[in-house]
Amino acid sequence: MGKSKKIVAILVTLAVMVTLLVPMAVPAFAGDPFKYSSAYPIITDASNQPAGWFSIAAGDQNITFNGQKPGGGTTYVTVDLSSGAKWNSEPNTNAAVQALVTTSPAATITYVASDSDSVQFTVYNATAAVTQLVFDVPNLDITSGTTGDVTATVKLQVLDEDGNQVWTESKTLVIARIGAGALTATAASAKKISGAGLGVKVADITIEENQPGVLSSTTPDTITLTIATPGVTWVAAPGPYPTASGTAGLAVGPATRTDDKTLTYTVTSPSSGIGGKLTFDLDSAGYLNVSPGVSGDIVITVASSNSKLSDTDLVVATTTVGEFTITAEDTKDREGVPGQAGVILGDIKIDQNFAGAFSNNGSLVFTLKNAKWTSNPPAAPAGFAAGTRYNDDRSIWFSVTNPTNITDPVTFDGSTHLPTVNIDANASGDIVVEISGTAGPNGEVVLGKVIPVATFEADKKNVNVNSLDQVAGDIKITEAGKNLFNTNGTLKLTLPNGIYFSKNPTLYINGEKVTVTWVATPKGTNVAEVAAATWGTKFSTVKADVIEIKDIAYDVDSRFLAKDVTVEISGTFLTKAGGSTSTVATVTNASGVSATKRSASFVIGSSTYTVNGTEYTMDVAAYVKDGRTYLPVRYVAYALGVDPENIFWDDATQTVTVLKGTTAVQMTIGSNVLKVNGISLTMDVAPEVASGRTMLPFRFIAQALGASVGYDDATQTVTMNLE
């Protein structure tokens, strides 16, 4: 007895656990016992119209057309048509019904009853469960004026083998739809075009049926595409002209060109099953010619012999102003030194704001700012034709031949479409190309860089005009990077007119003097040119080279004006093989001064003085006495161009005589009489001797020698200028 109670307790516990672990059972028939589907055609309100079909399949609750057992049950199926629909031929026999019904697996179909808009039959299989039924609805007669959906209300009454009611339900299904045939014409988004052009692409046009067979091929319907915009025509005969692709069997023949404004298409095959669609391809190729002056919308009128298509104006294109974005590509390592020849530039990429934005027959000009094109453009991208170079070879041009064939973006390749360039000998910075012309784009891009070959320096010294063997400053050329110099080229120095080399200069490479072979002896000429190959193996391959040109002396012609001596530096040593021979750089290593022109300054208390920027030393300093500034007569004379041999001292008479050109100046120590060319002038002080030198207030001797004088009290500086 105790054991039995224990077993019962265990079973109760397990039952509770099962209740906790297993989901609650759903109520009977909570799902869909049967599932329905149907198909329907588009028909008209007339007799003998086709209808669709419906299907009924066993659903989720294990209910079949036999009930809930594998076989033996019976299902009554009643089909009622909606108002306005009747059978064209009433299915009122076993054979008639059986021709309409298919089951899976096969079952016995038995006609029960029918009238003009309903039919009832049974489904029976003694052994197998029938899980699906398909009913092909026969043709219908539709009452005139009926619209909308034609439906069949299907009622199922499922009995088991004992005649017990298992399930009853009904469902309304669409088996046909009454609709008036209609046609619509539309266009894709209007194309943006820049204006005039031949073979212009525009938007596709589509004609669509709302049901099959609206367009007929029996008495063939026609469709016309007529250009409504003045100044726009179809391309000239014989074309080609746009073709149309169809769906659902709908098709038209090739276009017939009625005139330059109208194309006509004839329907060759109607649609079936569903409504068809015709798409006229106006975009893949250019079929319109647009004359200059056309602006705004370009309109095509679509019409048909079929009254169900109303005449429709469609905008297929709109003229607009092209907008462009210009960028440079592939510019890495696109560089050269000043004067270098045959340099390849980067690419020019131009984006359009719409396909065909370039103006047809427009020109696209590329102009260099610090280089020249070496040839005409070798090729052109699609839609362009290559032009020529002009503007002293700084500009090339392309013409737009077909805007619609231009890719977006279009690239003018630096290696394919653009010629190489010769960089100007005096160029620096970026290699800039300016884009202009009538094609549309305007702007500029950087397609390369000019890298300096060297830096150029010079000492500057004064040289006398109309004088020989005047020492000039040294010139220094420092390579901007290693291996930039063309060691097989020539280096050339050119002097201005009126300046000649007094002797051959001396060259140093990296601090070492080298023996060179001059192309022509510089001495006596204004050109010094040397072939770098004759300099030996002094060049470095691991660091920048330094070229120094020293021991430069000039013979200065009397015709040379007193100004800076500018030396022009050129040669393929600096511009690479085949490069420019024009001037690459200039330096000033001398300043011509008049042989008589002097600008001198003396500072009180200082034993130095300056003449034309050069400092000299005295053996006595200037001083102030009784408010007057005393300078040594000898050094004032030197400063104003008096040769030392033209200064005389007579110790017996204590007299100083100074000769300058045709002027003779004489003064005596202790006397305030100054004689100029024998004429006596009275001074307010007399010359005196200090530190063995004759000293005199500066104004008397300077003015006697023809100089103008000045005094800066702040710096205590005396200035003298002799023109």
Distance CA 317, CA 299 (A): 7
pLDDT for residue 278 is more than 90: yes
* 400 and 486 co-located in one domain: no
Edge-to-edge strand ranges of the sheet holding 475-479: 454-458, 475-479, 546-550, 506-509, 512-514
DSSP 8-state secondary structure symbol assigned to residue 64? B
Of 450, 468, 497, which residue sits at a domain end?
A: 450
Does residue 10 sit within a domain? no
Rounded alpha-carbon distances, angstroms, from residue 320 to 189, 294, 350, 365, 638: 14, 10, 18, 22, 82
Assess if residue 565 is contained within a domain: yes
Query: Which residue, of 414, 433, 450, is where some domain finishes?
Result: 450
- What would the pLDDT profile of 667-713 be if each residue is shown by its tens digit? 999 999 999 999 999 999 999 999 999 999 989 999 999 999 999 99
Residues 436 and 397: their CA atoms lie apart, in Å, by 9
Read off the pLDDT of residues 336-372 as tens digits, 9 standing for 90 and up: 999 999 999 999 999 998 877 888 889 999 999 999 9
Instruction: Encode pLDDT of 511-569 as tens digits.
Output: 999 988 889 889 999 999 999 888 767 888 889 999 999 999 999 998 787 689 999 99
pLDDT score recorded for residue 31? 60
For the chain, the domain total comes to 5
**Mean per-residue pLDDT, 572-584:** 92
284, 319, 354: which is the final residue of a domain? 319
Query: Whole-model pTM?
Result: 0.56
Question: Do residues 167 and 105 both lie within one domain?
Answer: yes
N-term to C-term CA, the chain: 152
Question: How many angstroms separate the CA atoms of 534 and 479, rounded?
Answer: 19
Same domain, yes or no: 533 and 562: yes
Is 540 in the same domain as 616?
Answer: no
How far, in Å, are 309, 488, 579 from residue 342 at the CA level? 65, 18, 8
Is the model's pLDDT at 7 over the cut of 80?
no
**Cα atoms found within 13 Å of the Cα of residue 585, Cβ hemisphere only:** 22
Summarize pLDDT for 15-72 with one digit per residue, the tens: 333 333 233 223 334 468 899 999 998 888 889 999 999 999 988 767 788 776 666 7
419 in a domain, yes or no? yes
Question: Do 374 and 427 belong to one domain?
Answer: yes
Say yes or no: 504 and 409 in one domain.
no
Banded model confidence at residue 373, pLDDT cuts 50, 70, 90: very high
CATH assignment of the domain containing 470: 2.60.40.740
| Joined tokens for residue 238 | 């014989």
The whole-angstrom separation of Cα 457 and Cα 451 is: 18
Q: Say whether both 192 and 308 belong to one domain.
A: yes
Whether 160 and 290 map to the same domain: the answer is no
Residue 356 to residue 319: CA distance in whole angstroms? 10
Q: Is residue 133 part of a domain?
A: yes
Whether residue 620 is contained in a domain is answered as yes
- On whether both 571 and 473 belong to a single domain, the answer is yes
Residue 212 covered by a domain: yes
In our burial notation (b when 16+ CB lie closer than 10 A, e otherwise), range 219-247 reads ebbbbbbbbebeebbbbeeeeebbbbebe
Q: Is residue 20 part of a domain?
A: no
Please give the torsion angle defined by the CA atoms of residues 387, 391, 392 and 393, in that order, rounded to the nearest 10 degrees.
-30
Residues spanned by the domain of 394: 324-450
Beta bridge partners of 78: 120, 155
| DSSP character string of 200-232 | E----EEEEESSTTSS-TTTT-EEEEEE-STTE
Regarding whether 645 and 693 lie in a shared domain, the answer is yes
Tokens 């210009």 locate to 326
* Domain identity same for 312 and 340: no
Q: What confidence tens digit (pLDDT) does each residue in 78-96 have?
A: 999 999 999 999 999 999 9
Strands 623-625 and 688-690: unpaired
- Residues 445 and 326 sit within 8 Å (Cβ to Cβ): yes
Determine the pLDDT at residue 562: 66
CATH number at 82 reads 2.60.40
**43 and 130 together in one domain:** yes
- Taking residues 145-154, what's their average pLDDT? 95
Lowest mean pLDDT: which of 18-22, 43-47, 267-271, 430-434? 18-22
Position 484 in a domain: yes
Beta bridge partners of 617: 608
The Cα 158–Cα 512 span in angstroms is 119
Quickly tell me which residue has 């500072």 as its tokens: 603
